[in-house]
Structure 1
Amino acid sequence: MSTTTHRRVKIATLAPDFYQALIDLDAQSATGLDPRLADIVRIRASQLNGCAYCVDMHTLDARHAGDSEQRMNLIATWREARKFYSEQEQAALELTEAITLISVDHVPDEVYAIAAAAFDDKELAQLIGLIITINAWNRVGVSGRLEPGHYSPS
């Protein structure tokens, strides 16, 4: 079986109703959450999923919104660079990893408990929705082999 293919369907074009539903879901997914937190969650999930397009997009968005280059550079190693992330951001990153890598250990109770202590119930529900949504977008980007370098923050 070949590991490369020249034909990748364009989901936005060929499944426009699904794509629009994903856009609508995305618009609601971070409601009520700190935009800086939402950006680092999107970046970390995208790193874990190997979605270069989404990593590029969300790091550009975060920088455009004023987040620091240093914080963006350290997201992949956030545990070793905890001082750059609030306790709430650390809890969100931990939960992002658990949900994104769900086949490894599902979502451990201790990870969920840390997130539940850092967020109120509504925020926690929004955070989980955000993590689920970026994972869906990552699968669109990876399966379609979307290339980074074509996105510009608005």
Structure 2
Amino acid sequence: MTAPRMRFVQHAPDVYEATLALTQAAKKDLDPVLVELVLLRASQVNHCAFCIDMHAKDARKAGESEQRLDLLPAWEEAGAVYTEKERAALALTEAVTVLTDGFVPDEVYERAAAQFSEPELARLVSLIATINVWNRINVAFRTPVGNMR
């Protein structure tokens, strides 16, 4: 395991607080379990161990089952384990997180737009963008797993 590079919150507390506020605003009016699935899946894609650990724990606290957490990396093959709304959110999460795979395809966006109201969709995309910020900060500074804020 590599050593942490710095404690981000100590050196940029204003950026930390602004990013935290954006995260809280993005979560507003979204289902807490769906939020944690999205945060966890983006963190898995980005290989952010700190965020994977934190959001798996938060998902359990929100009532998520072990089976659904275990199957999240293979959500597309898991069928009815996830609702159509969750699958649409997870597809959008992956498309927004991995922009180098051809940006966000129309069919992925349209699938999500069919499941979420425009205000929900705006918050969902904001949530996905925000977790990508957190992932990049924590990966860049090698935030240790379990080092909660």
User: Which category describes the TM-score, using the shorter chain as reference length?
Assistant: over 0.9
Write the mapping of 1:71-150 to structure 2, written as runs, cut at 5 A.
71-150=68-147
Partner Cα separation in structure 1 for residue 112 and residue 100 of structure 2: 19
* Aligned structure 1 segments of 4 or more residues deviating by more than 6 angstroms: none
User: What is the root-mean-square deviation in Å for CA atoms of aligned residues?
Assistant: 1.7
Choose 114-123 or 4-13, whichever is displaced more.
4-13
What letter is aligned with 1:92? A
Q: Please name the residue that 1:9 is paired with.
A: 6
Distance 1:53 1:108, change over 3 A: same
Partner Cα separation in structure 1 for residue 138 and residue 4 of structure 2: 14
Deviation at 1:10, TM superposition (A): 2.1
What letter is aligned with 1:116? A
What letter is aligned with 1:76? P
Deviation at 1:137, TM superposition (A): 0.6
Deviation at 1:82, TM superposition (A): 2.2
What letter is aligned with 2:83? S
- Report the count of equivalent residues: 149
Partner Cα separation in structure 2 for residue 109 and residue 88 of structure 1: 17
Partner Cα separation in structure 1 for residue 2 and residue 144 of structure 2: 15
Choose 53-62 or 143-152, whichever is displaced more.
143-152
Matched-pair identity in %: 49
Partner Cα separation in structure 2 for residue 6 and residue 30 of structure 1: 32
Q: Please name the residue that 2:41 is paired with.
A: 44
